[in-house]
Amino acid sequence: MTRRWFTVATAGVGVAAAAAFAAGAAAGPPLFAQSATTIDDVLALDRPVVLAHTGGEDEFPGSTMYAFARSMEAGVDVLDLNVVLTADGVLAVQHDLDVDRQTNGTGSVGAMTFAALHELDNAYWFTGTCGVCHDEPAESYRYRGMRTGVVPSPQGYAPDDFAIPRLDELMDAFPDIPLGIEIKAEGADGRATADALVDLLEARGRIDHVVVSSFSDDVIAYVEAIAPDLEVSPGPGPIGAFLLEGTPLPDGQRILQLPPEFADVPLLTPDYIAAAHEAGYVIWVWPDDHDLENQDAYRDFLVDGIDGLNINYPAAGVAAVAEFVTTACPRAARATRWG
């Protein structure tokens, strides 16, 4: 199955970003032709996959339409993102529960209307050298002011492409793209977010196109209860039980999303990787360490048997997969399901 290139939305946030991506795609295809639309398609690819963590948050200002469009230009397979429910019930695409770290504002996403949230500059603290950091010289903030139009946007993009987007508008702009969606909130707020997310996915016919994750086992259990056909990744409890005790994951769960270590305990040992593959699971790594966000480190993950890279430098991730699948690698033949 060959994915058709994106249909450009005719109104709303992300029109310029989607159009810019379409223009880039027309100029030259990415290293791998995009061929996965559903999560089943992603898992059926005969190579490791690349996910753009919040659109590639060290390469581009994360959780912006600009970042998502640029990461798709690079050739990633899945857009990875976080959703938070606003005060007026909108699913906002935002990594944090507040806006303090990335934007020129302060406050909780859940206490703000989407209109107020959307006015903020979501590229305000992005540098391109240390990702999001607040102590660099003013000239380091290369995208600052594009949201307001004070600084011109890159060709093909518009001020809205540097705002916090709505999930439904991102889905409209990129209708054929598989999504990894983390529900950021826990407890009652997490369940309310899950309700809104499932309603949207069902309304758009996108249940098969999404894998949902959360750091809350309760939220994952709730998602499974209200949407049993929706792919979910296991939360911390089942992950720990599988890795430490060999307890199978709950029925239907098959994508382990892991950092290299947790609380100083390595999670990507040869034994754990082999056990996951023997059980029929795949492992998508999120490096969680800037020192591991580079092509060499990505390649090493693949050689060790990792099935997917959820990373902050999309082009480097795609290049690492290209190198991996085109270079003879005896270790890979032993350690992975690709050799």
Q: Hey, what domains does the chain have and what are their CATH numbers?
A: 15-326 (3.20.20.190)
Mean pLDDT of successive 10-residue stretches along the chain, which has 339 residues:
28 58 49 78 95 97 98 96 98 98 98 98 94 94 97 97 98 96 98 98 97 98 98 97 96 97 93 97 96 97 97 97 79 51
The pLDDT score that the predictor gives to residue 33 is 62
Whole-structure pTM value: 0.91
Tens digits of residue pLDDT in 9-43: 333 446 677 666 655 554 434 546 657 999 999 99
Which of 101, 167, 110 lies closest to 134, judged by CA? Answer: 101
The pLDDT score that the predictor gives to residue 22 is 59
The pLDDT score that the predictor gives to residue 329 is 54
| Residue 121 · residue 104 · CB < 8 Å | yes
